[in-house]
């Protein structure tokens, strides 16, 4: 299967057609997203004739050639960006996915520098965090006081979120502007399970 850019015609991927027989367009977009480092929310699949393919469409007979359209993020919108923050904090995955399909920038920040990933971490929601990262969100955005989503999850004792963020490569030793790392803020608030996990994950235990 030859997948090329819709505008230039440049081939961006060559895939085995048998891998997608009976699969959805969504599965193909996820594969391309992983290979190209571009969020699936910013990709639109087109037939060779330029007709958009629905994400739930199943390839009964795999086409030989497809086109791929790359979308830019929509301009910032205060109301829509706030909805994305709230959806992340409440783990409202349907609303969050609908907004990300805009596509909206998953790294938009509020007045304190908190991104949707910060809000997902504060709410203790791994699913929302996973969806945001799939949309291309940065793993370690910082607030105005230098706090990352992992830092906030550690302070809140949210072990599952801490575990998830460490597993996807977030910086477990990033200190805030006061010099406190996730390990130390977890300890200050008595979250010994988080401290234990971070220690086993190889974090630095030295105060900064």
Q: CATH number of the domain that 43 lies in?
A: 3.10.20.90
Q: What pLDDT score was predicted for residue 208?
A: 63
- Size of the chain in residues: 208
Q: What pLDDT score was predicted for residue 33?
A: 77
Task: Please tell me the total count of domains within the chain.
Answer: 2
The CATH number for 162's domain is 1.25.40.20
Asked if residue 206 is part of any domain, the answer here is no
Q: Could you give the C-alpha distances from 203 to 117, 128, 196, in angstroms and in order?
A: 21, 25, 10
Q: What pLDDT score was predicted for residue 63?
A: 56
Q: What pLDDT score was predicted for residue 114?
A: 97
Q: What pLDDT score was predicted for residue 123?
A: 97
Instruction: Please tell me whether residues 99 and 129 are part of one structural domain.
Output: yes
Instruction: Please tell me whether residues 111 and 186 are part of one structural domain.
Output: yes
Q: What is the pTM of this model?
A: 0.83
Out of 20, 42, 70, a domain closes at 70
Instruction: Please tell me whether residues 105 and 56 are part of one structural domain.
Output: no
Which of these, 43, 14, 13, 11, lies nearest to 26 by C-alpha position? 43
Q: What pLDDT score was predicted for residue 57?
A: 80
Asked if residue 208 is part of any domain, the answer here is no
Instruction: Please tell me whether residues 174 and 94 are part of one structural domain.
Output: yes
Residue 153 · residue 124 · CB < 8 Å:
yes
pLDDT tens, residue order, the chain (208 aa): 444 444 444 555 555 666 666 778 787 777 777 777 788 888 888 877 778 878 778 776 655 677 778 888 999 999 999 999 999 999 999 999 999 999 999 999 999 999 999 999 999 999 999 999 999 999 999 999 999 999 999 999 999 999 999 999 999 999 999 999 999 999 999 999 999 999 999 998 876 6
Instruction: Please tell me whether residues 50 and 8 are part of one structural domain.
Output: yes
Q: What pLDDT score was predicted for residue 6?
A: 47
Residue 176 belongs to domain spanning:
78-200
DSSP H or E run through 66: strand 65-70
Q: Which two tokens stand for residue 208?
A: 């900064």
Out of 27, 49, 70, a domain closes at 70
Q: Which two tokens stand for residue 141?
A: 């955005």
What's the CA gap between 123 and 115, in Å, rounded?
A: 13
């Amino acid at each position: 299967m030859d997948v090329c850019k819709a505008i230039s015609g440049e081939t961006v991927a060559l895939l085995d057609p048998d891998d997608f027989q009976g699969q959805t367009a969504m599965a193909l977009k996820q594969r391309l997203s992983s290979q190209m480092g571009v969020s699936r929310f910013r990709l639109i699949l087109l037939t060779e004739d330029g007709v958009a393919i629905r994400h739930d469409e199943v390839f009964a007979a795999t086409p030989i050639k497809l086109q791929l359209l790359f979308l830019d993020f929509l301009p910032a919108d205060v109301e829509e960006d706030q909805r994305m923050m709230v959806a992340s904090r409440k783990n409202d995955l349907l609303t969050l996915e609908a907004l990300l399909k805009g596509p909206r920038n998953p790294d938009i920040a509020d007045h304190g520098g908190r991104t949707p990933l910060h809000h997902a971490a504060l709410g203790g929601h791994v699913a929302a965090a996973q969806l945001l990262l799939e949309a291309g969100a940065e793993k370690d955005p910082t607030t105005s006081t230098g706090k990352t989503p992992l830092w906030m999850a550690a302070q809140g004792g949210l072990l599952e979120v801490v575990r998830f963020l460490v597993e996807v490569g977030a910086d477990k030793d990033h200190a805030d502007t006061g010099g406190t790392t996730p390990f130390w803020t977890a300890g200050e608030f008595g979250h010994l399970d988080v401290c234990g996990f971070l220690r086993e994950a190889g974090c630095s235990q030295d105060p900064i």
